[in-house]
Amino acid sequence: MKRRHFLLTLGGGVAATLLHTWRVEPTWVEFVRRDLPIANLPAALAGKTLVQISDLHIGPQVDDTYLAGVFADISALAPDLVVQTGDLVSYRGPQTLEQARALLPVFPRGKLGTFSILGNHDYGKGWNEPAVAEKISRLLADAGHTVLRNQSADVAGLQIVGLDDLWGRRFLPEKVLPRLAQDAPALVLSHNPDTCDLPRWSGYRGWILSGHTHGGQCKPPFLPPPLLPVRNKRYSAGEFDLGDGRKLYINRGLGHLLRVRFNVRPEVTVFRLTAT
C-alpha cells in the first residue's frame, strides 16, 4: 500500500508538472524591471521607460488573445519607447501575415517612438525568403513602427541602431555602426546574440538588446537550459558583460514554437533609462 501510494503521488506530481509546463507557464508573463545605463544619455531621456518585446511568433502555435492581453498590459504602462527585437511571426504562409495584420493595431506604442527589427523567422522558410521579410517590414511600418534594417534613428539625441538578422544573411553592421560618433549615446538592437561574437562592431561600446533564445524554454533547476539555438551556449537569457565595453541583454520572448515552458517564463522587459 505504501508503494502504491508513493507511485500515485509521484504520478500526480508528474502530471501536475506537465500540465503547468503546457498550459500555465507558456502564458505566465513576467514583467522584468531594471535600469539601462547609457553613457552620455541626454538629460531629457533620464528616467524614461523603454519596453523590450521579443519573439512573439504570431502564427498557429501562439494564441492571439494571449498576445493581445499582454499588449494591453504594456500599453497601460504608457512606455516612452517600445522596441521589438525580432521573430514577429512564425511564417506559415499568407494567413500568418493576415494574423499579424489583425494584431498590430493593438501593439503597444511608445510615446517617443516604436522600433522593430527582424528575426530569422521573419525571413520565412529556411530563413531564405526575403520577400516575406519585405512584407513583414511593410506591415510593421504601416502600423507605425520604425523598422530598422542596418539603420539608426535619433530619439532626442539617443541613437537607436537596428541590425538585420544573422540567419537571414542580412546582418550588416558595417553599414551603420561606423557612422556613429564615438561618444554618441546609442543602443543597438540585434535579434541573435551570436552576432555579439563577430568582429564587426567598429568599436561600439554600449548595450545590445537581443532575443532569439526564448531562454531555452525549458530549464532544469540550478542547471543551464539543455537546448539553445545559438553557438555560444552561455547566451541563454538576461545580462552578459562582453568584456570590451559592450553589454548584452537577452529577452526570453513572449511566444514559442512549441507550447512548452518550464522554469523559463515569457518576458516583457521594462527598462528605465539612466545616465552614466
Chain segment 158-211, per-residue pLDDT in tens = 999 999 999 999 999 999 999 998 889 999 999 999 999 999 999 999 999 999
**Cell numbers describing residue 168:** 537571414
| Statement: residue 86 has pLDDT above 70 | yes
Distance of alpha carbon 179 from alpha carbon 199, whole angstroms: 17
Helix ranges (H only) for 76-216 are 94-103, 130-142
| Statement: residue 8 has pLDDT above 50 | no
pLDDT, tens digit (0-9, with 9 covering 90-100), for 132-153: 999 999 999 999 999 999 999 9
Domains of the chain: 2-275 (3.60.21)
**Exposed, middle or buried, 223 (CB in 10 Å: 0-12/13-18/19+)?**
exposed
Complete DSSP assignment for 42-61: -GGGTT-EEEEE----BBTT
